[in-house]
Chain A
Amino acid sequence: MGLDIRWPIGLMFTLIGALLAVFGLAKGAESVSLGININLIWGAVLLVFGVLMLLGAIKGGKTPPSA
């Protein structure tokens, strides 16, 4: 099948990760659980994962779905 699954996975986690991290930064007080800003930390983790997936997809050489 012509779709490389790393594109949607990468895009989705980059998006959600960025969103979560920004939310954690902007609303620090609401993002704390057990004394840590979990939204910021976990958002960053998701962002890194998403970017790695995207890099894999780009290296894999397949184009994103044009649809």
Chain B
Amino acid sequence: MQAIQLQWIDYTILVAYVAFVIGIGWALSRYMKTSADFLTSARSIPTWVTGLAFISANLGALELVGMAASGAKYGISTAHFYWVGAIPAMIFLAVFMMPFYYGSKARSVPEYLKMRFDERVRALNSFAFAVMTIFASGISMNALAKLLHALLGWDYNFALFVSSGVVLLYVLKGGLTSAIYTEVLQFFMIVLGFAPVVYLGLKDVGGWHSMNSALQTVATNPAAIYLKDAGTTYAPNAWTSAWQPVLAGPTHNPMGVDWFAMIFGLGFVLSFGYWCTNFLVVQRAMAAKNMTAARNTPLVAAVPKMFFPFLVIVPGMIAAALTTLPDKGYRIPPPVIAQANYDKAIADVKSGNAGNIAADLGKKVDAEKITSLIAANTASKLSDTQIEQGLYNSVAENDYDGVILSLVKKYCPAGLLGLALTALLASFMSGMAGNVTAFNTVFTYDIYQAYFAKGKSDAHYMWVGKVITVVGILLSIGAAYFASMYNNCMDIIQLVFGFVNAPLFATFLLGMFWKRTTATGAFLGLFCGIGSSALFHALTIAQGNTPGIKGGYLTVVSTFPSEMAQNFWLAAFAFIACFTLTLVISLATSRTKSDTDLKGLVYSLTPKIVDNNSPIYQRPAVVGVVLLIVCILLNWYFW
């Protein structure tokens, strides 16, 4: 893809946005008096703000880039990451789990684990979490830098350092509050920045129904637009129905997953493991000003989350549909190829060496298209630009991560382009800031204060919190370089979450709802759960992957139809391992905490919250049920 030239108006919008986020940090810096102000917002923020921040912290690189990529690759089934993989868990968090997180006065999720179990469980969780946030942040930054490089021609390193510099500046000034406030700003920026792109895309493809009929062509022959290997074919509704292709079995849907992996692996284990135990999101709810506000935070977040597929997945579906319509002059972008390679290939087109072109470009090519390109050039001399365009269209590989940008480039004139680009930047920054603020809290309170320097002054911890913010960003930059080795960011993120989060939910489920769970049971269960994820990954592989890189390091015992199926099954396996072990070991060991110790930490020992005093629309259970019904209706509509 050729670099886009931005005009002054685009830069003005970009600069205005950056100025506002830094300004928010500045305005808040005078409220940062204690480490609690800096790291936990001292529980002071209204619900709608924490709710939108909750969703925005999660709305990182994954959402806009990864979801559009998956929308093109898998169609509407990608929405399961929302309707199955998020909404039920968010409602569960609000109704059942928030009372313990907020009521226990823990400052972080690992601290809750220390209160409920002991230091060992906290240590394990806080270290695993710290590593994971750094990776998540690095992956997001890598994606951003790659995009800015592809889109604007900025240097990868420059993009990486400038964008993390902005985040560093406002997080360092205003701490968690600053991250939360800017996340709300970012939320609106993302929604308002991308909505016109979706609208224009849909208008161009001829509306929802035309898009669906084009996607039926895609489903019957996905190889035509290089989505799958030649010969693969699905039922016409494989891209446009959410459930029927999944229920039909792994060979009948482009994700290659079965319903059990989808519902148990994604919908239960991965989803609850992420939304209910990941401090990155839970931290936003814990910053709310009171218990009702904290419980309503995930519910406020669930409303936009439910409708995000139309903002983030539909662009991918539009891209796949447009690619099948020749008069639109669009294709899902191929991987970025250096100009020097194009030049070599152009020379070979001119001299008719069809056989060399794949090697020139370093990519698979569509032999038929190359033959007709050479024929066209022989018949009437084409210009270099025309030949290059022909070569671009002949590359038989897709760079799905480039989908969203290619649409922005296609539809946005100067001005709107700046807005969409700023929205993209906002999504990366919110993801990065979310990770960094979760990392600095866990590191300061659960690692540094717990194990290295107990009983220091609050000013000391505030200083450490700030230093750790800087260290966290530096480590993320390191992780970004690591992440640059992988192609589709979604898969690797799911993998990391699978290792760490999948077993964790079993620990919480047993810990919160069964008072007999012992610290030793929880610790060994969790430890072996994480170990079993790694073992599972070492013994399995997805079809088409070479053993050693993405699984199968030891030997290949089982092969899955897709990486996604492998990840879902890994999660399911790790959860069952952790659950069973925790259960068995708890029964075999004796309790170290009495019922009184566990009051406020375990369901059966905590007085139930009576919310008869609040208006009906503020009662988490009522709102939760309504949201669940809407979510089921969405699933039913896209059946």
Q: Which A residues contact B (CB, under 8 angstroms)?
A: 1-3, 5, 8-9, 11-13, 15-16, 19-20, 23-24, 27, 30-34, 38-39, 42-43, 45-46, 49, 65, 67
Q: Which of B27-35, B59-67, B271-279 contacts A (4 or more CB under 8 A)?
A: B27-35
Contact of B412 with A by CB under 8 A: yes
Residues of A within 8 A of B190 (CB): none
A34 close to B16 (CB less than 8 A): no
**A-B pairs under 8 A by CB, number:** 90
A24 close to B188 (CB less than 8 A): no
A43 to B413, CA, bound (A): 13
A1-B45, A20-B13 known, 11 other contacts, Cβ within 8 Å: A1-B177, A3-B181, A5-B49, A9-B184, A12-B185, A13-B188, A23-B9, A31-B414, A39-B413, A46-B192, A49-B188
Distance in Å: Cβ of B190 to nearest Cβ of chain A: 13
B27 close to A67 (CB less than 8 A): yes
* Known contacts A16-B16, A19-B9, A39 near B30 by CB under 8 Å: no
10 A-B pairs with CB atoms under 8 Å apart are A1-B28, A5-B185, A8-B27, A12-B185, A19-B9, A19-B13, A23-B9, A24-B415, A27-B414, A30-B413
Closest B residue to A65 by beta carbon equals B27
A67 close to B16 (CB less than 8 A): no
Closest B residue to A43 by beta carbon equals B415
Residues of B within 8 A of A33 (CB): 200, 411-413, 416
Mark contacts of B331-358 with chain A using CB atoms, 8 A cut-off: 1 yes-contact digit, 0 otherwise. 0000000000000000000000000000
A3 to B37, CA, bound (A): 14
A34 to B192, CA, bound (A): 19
Contact of B210 with A by CB under 8 A: no
Which listed residue (B12, B24, B30, B41) contacts A8, Cβ 8 A?
B24
Residues of A within 8 A of B23 (CB): 8
* Known contacts A1-B44, A1-B177, A38 near B200 by CB under 8 Å: yes
Closest 9 CB pairs of A and B: A65-B27, A39-B415, A12-B20, A23-B415, A5-B181, A42-B196, A1-B177, A31-B413, A33-B411
A9 close to B188 (CB less than 8 A): yes
Distance in Å: Cβ of B468 to nearest Cβ of chain A: 22
**Interface of chain A: mostly helix, strand, loop or mixed:** helix
Distance in Å: Cβ of A28 to nearest Cβ of chain B: 10
Closest B residue to A38 by beta carbon equals B416
Interface size on B, residues (CB 8 A): 34
A67 to B24, CA, bound (A): 10
Residues of A within 8 A of B412 (CB): 33, 38
Contact of B105 with A by CB under 8 A: no
Contact of B155 with A by CB under 8 A: no
Contact of B17 with A by CB under 8 A: yes
A62 to B540, CA, bound (A): 58
Contact of B264 with A by CB under 8 A: no
Which listed residue (A3, A11, A20, A27) contacts B419, Cβ 8 A?
A20
Distance in Å: Cβ of B202 to nearest Cβ of chain A: 10
Distance in Å: Cβ of B333 to nearest Cβ of chain A: 19
Closest A residue to B12 by beta carbon equals A19
Which listed residue (B20, B26, B415) contacts A67, Cβ 8 A?
B26
Contact of B597 with A by CB under 8 A: no
Contact of B204 with A by CB under 8 A: yes
Closest B residue to A31 by beta carbon equals B413
A39 to B13, CA, bound (A): 13
Which listed residue (B31, B45, B184, B203) contacts A34, Cβ 8 A?
B203
A13 to B186, CA, bound (A): 11
Which listed residue (B24, B185, B415) contacts A20, Cβ 8 A?
B415
Which residues of chain B in 512-544 are interfacial with respect to chain A, using CB atoms and an 8 Å cutoff?
A: none
Closest A residue to B414 by beta carbon equals A30
Closest A residue to B53 by beta carbon equals A5
A29 to B597, CA, bound (A): 71
Residues of B within 8 A of A5 (CB): 24, 49, 181, 184-185
A10 to B44, CA, bound (A): 21
Residues of B within 8 A of A8 (CB): 20, 23-24, 27, 181, 185
A46 to B189, CA, bound (A): 10
Residues of B within 8 A of A32 (CB): 413
A2 to B28, CA, bound (A): 8
Residues of B within 8 A of A16 (CB): 13, 16-17, 419
Distance in Å: Cβ of B582 to nearest Cβ of chain A: 39
Closest B residue to A12 by beta carbon equals B20
B30 close to A34 (CB less than 8 A): no
Residues of B within 8 A of A49 (CB): 188, 192
B415 close to A15 (CB less than 8 A): no
Interface centre among A1, A30, A31, A34, by most chain B C-beta atoms within 10 angstroms, is A1
A9 close to B185 (CB less than 8 A): yes
A42 close to B416 (CB less than 8 A): yes
A42 to B414, CA, bound (A): 13
Residues of B within 8 A of A13 (CB): 188, 192
Which residues of chain B in 2-51 are interfacial with respect to chain A, using CB atoms and an 8 Å cutoff?
A: 9, 12-13, 16-17, 20, 23-24, 26-28, 30-31, 41, 44-45, 49
A31 close to B415 (CB less than 8 A): yes
B20 close to A3 (CB less than 8 A): no
Residues of A within 8 A of B9 (CB): 19-20, 23
Mark contacts of B203-244 with chain A using CB atoms, 8 A cut-off: 1 yes-contact digit, 0 otherwise. 110000000000000000000000000000000000000000
Residues of A within 8 A of B415 (CB): 20, 23-24, 31, 39, 43
* Known contacts A23-B415, A49-B192, A34 near B204 by CB under 8 Å: yes
Interface centre among A5, A11, A19, A34, by most chain B C-beta atoms within 10 angstroms, is A5
Which listed residue (B17, B49, B411) contacts A12, Cβ 8 A?
B17
Distance in Å: Cβ of B473 to nearest Cβ of chain A: 23
A27 to B20, CA, bound (A): 26
A46 to B194, CA, bound (A): 12
Distance in Å: Cβ of B37 to nearest Cβ of chain A: 8
A15 close to B28 (CB less than 8 A): no
Residues of A within 8 A of B31 (CB): 1-3
Closest B residue to A3 by beta carbon equals B27
A30 to B54, CA, bound (A): 38
Residues of B within 8 A of A65 (CB): 27
Residues of B within 8 A of A34 (CB): 200, 203-204, 411
Which residues of chain B in 410-426 are interfacial with respect to chain A, using CB atoms and an 8 Å cutoff?
A: 411-416, 419
Closest B residue to A37 by beta carbon equals B413
Closest B residue to A9 by beta carbon equals B185
A67 to B173, CA, bound (A): 14
Residues of A within 8 A of B419 (CB): 16, 20, 42, 46
